[in-house]
Chains A and B, each alone.
Chain A
Amino acid sequence: MNDDQTLVRAVLAGQSGAFERMVARHQRLVWHLVYRIVQHPEDAREICQDVFLRVHRCLHQYRFESAFSTWIGRIAYTVAMRFMQKKRLPMAEASEDDGDEQPLDRVEDGFDLEASCADAEVMVHMSAAIECLPQIQRTLVTLYHLEEMGIAEIAEITQLPAGTVKNYLFRARQRLKQQLEQRLGELA
């Protein structure tokens, strides 16, 4: 039995402090997922509270069939998406011509990875570019790169086919590279 299963049983048994440990263990995942969807700190905090209250209320429904992080991720994703739908906030999808744009020719090849990583301006620009990705791409890159989840787990959380997840990830990285090259071109 893994740690998560032990923790779930402890919470269900009403063990003191078990739920607090569960929240502490998964709050990073929930926060990253929710914040990347709603992009508003106050709303994200409220949704995170709602997510964990639902987790507590519905914990008896967890069947130990998938990883607990996937189960919590699915709840967080659903709650955040419902929030967006309720507020009728636009959920921009990737446009069809995403992959057709050509990299800018003006970018020189003398790219220095370490210098660029150390360049705060470039990294701030990249963070902004990530925030500007379409909502679904933002969510997927967060789960894949920041939370280091597998494609299958992400597909289960978002209810998207694995091939679609891979395609969105590819397009998101490609789009970010175009943004980066544009930025480097401006700096040159």
Chain B
Amino acid sequence: MNNIDKEARWQALAEQAERDHTAPGNDSQVDRYRLILRALRQPVGPQLAPDFAQAMQAEVLRQEHRSVVEDALVTVLMTVMVLIGLYVAYPYVAPLLGQMRGSLPLADSLFGIADGALANVPWRAIIGSAAAIGGVMLIDRYADSSPRLQA
């Protein structure tokens, strides 16, 4: 039996002896390993504070609350920014929307609707609102899929 085999055997016997709580003294090599096993079972020196779990619970609640407030603020801010953007862009976009109206009577006749009915729909307001909502949804979606620190 070589040295490694001997050491492995002493280690195994020491583990068994510790499990069985047998009296020491039969083999000094095994006893040395038993002392090592006992030392290895000693708790690590410093410990976490006794109220660590409580502090973690409080921290998690604080972070959740902060996250809700931050999300609400970001949503409001983004909505305002999109609306302002549309307001600023309106003078430039309005002529384009006006050109679109030219094709609407054709659509009326295509769907068999009375002439001009679609043309009277407030398209600017609808498209502007849809753009604002879409913008906010996109931002929200981007925020959700942004890379999070994974464990």
Contacts and interface: CB of A to CB of B under 8 A. Distances in A.
Interface of A: 17, 19-21, 23-24, 27, 31-32, 35-36, 41, 44-45, 48-49, 52-58, 61, 74-75, 78-79, 99, 102, 109-114, 116-117, 122-123, 126-127, 129-130, 141-142, 145-146, 170, 173-174, 176-177, 180-181
Given A19-B56, A52-B56, A58-B150, A31 B36 contact: no
A36 B151 CA distance: 19
Dominant SS among interface residues on chain B: helix
A177 B36 contact: yes
A166 to B, nearest CB: 10
A36 B33 CA distance: 21
A20 B31 CA distance: 41
B24 A113 contact: yes
Nearest to B11: A173
A27 B48 contact: yes
B40 A145 contact: yes
Interface stretch (B57-65, B89-97, B99-107, B134-142): B57-65
Interface residues of B, number: 38
B60 to A, nearest CB: 5
Nearest to B52: A27
Given A23-B52, A78-B151, A111-B31, 6 more contacts: A21-B53, A35-B46, A45-B48, A56-B60, A99-B3, A176-B36
A177 B52 contact: no
Given A75-B151, A116-B35, A53 B60 contact: yes
Given A49-B59, A180-B35, A99 B4 contact: yes
22 contacts: A20-B56, A23-B56, A27-B48, A31-B44, A31-B47, A32-B44, A35-B44, A48-B52, A49-B56, A53-B63, A54-B149, A54-B151, A61-B151, A75-B151, A99-B4, A109-B28, A113-B35, A142-B40, A146-B40, A146-B41, A180-B36, A181-B32
A52 B53 CA distance: 9
B44 A111 contact: no
Interface centre among A99, A102, A126, A177 (most CB of B within 10 A): A177
Contact of A36 (B3, B4, B35, B44): B44
A48 B57 contact: no
